[in-house]
Structure 1
């Protein structure tokens, strides 16, 4: 049985490191630097979603698949504002809930999604992305 991680309390530095990670990732996304974004991931990458009927699905992506898919999604000049709330499971695992608004062509969209970050060799890497509605 693994040692318990119940009661883990992140330090201010732990929380700041997650927010700093997202600031770097968001800057890369805004520039459309999908290779840089991929450098911040742990592959294979898990993606979990559902469809309009509420049927969930999960899949894994290689680095190559991630780069190909994200190339068509990021860097389009959309303005995104995010509030992120990290929920530490342990020193090396954090699930981050993001509440965001994105403005595209004058229309504002609200988003909620989650990312599991894993700390490896002192650096955070995203490993699982969770967002509803992509399963159509």
Structure 2
């Protein structure tokens, strides 16, 4: 793992573990296609940053209803298992803010897709919640 310069907040091992535990819960909900549980782990309005098919940057804010509708459409309601293998690099800005860079392999219905994305999580009332999703290829869904 790359060593970052001493430029600010240094998280404890427990703080790092809490972020990884949050993602384990989120990934488990995604694997079950439990979109409502995924939404429970977010802060709305949720910020989204992406690009579209034309290669242009795109951003939007979604409320819970739009998140659930879009994720249901994107993830489908199929019976096949979804699995994730992810390597995550959390970069803490403070004890209550972290940007997490993820390199992931998602397998669904026998097809594998490699993903790279980042999420901004904030800590509220002792719990992490994601507030911003950054990932290429979603721009045409951001309306």
TM-score, length of structure 2 as denominator length: 0.84
Deviations 1:58-117 (A, max 9, x none): 000001111111122336423221111101111100000110112244332211000000
| Residue ranges of structure 1 left out of the alignment (5+ in a row) | 1-5
| Residue ranges of structure 2 left out of the alignment (5+ in a row) | 1-6
Equivalent position of 2:15 in the other structure:
14
3-state SS of 1:133 partner: coil
Equivalent position of 1:111 in the other structure:
115
Equivalent position of 1:40 in the other structure:
41
TM-score, length of structure 1 as denominator length: 0.88
1:49: Cα distance to partner?
0.3
Task: Give the total of aligned pairs.
Answer: 131
Q: CA RMSD in A?
A: 1.5
Find the partner of 1:125 among 114, 125, 129: 129
Q: 4+ residue stretches of structure 1 with deviation over 4 A?
A: none
Task: Work out the CA distance in 2 between the residues paired with 1:62 and 1:106.
Answer: 32
Equivalent position of 1:90 in the other structure:
94
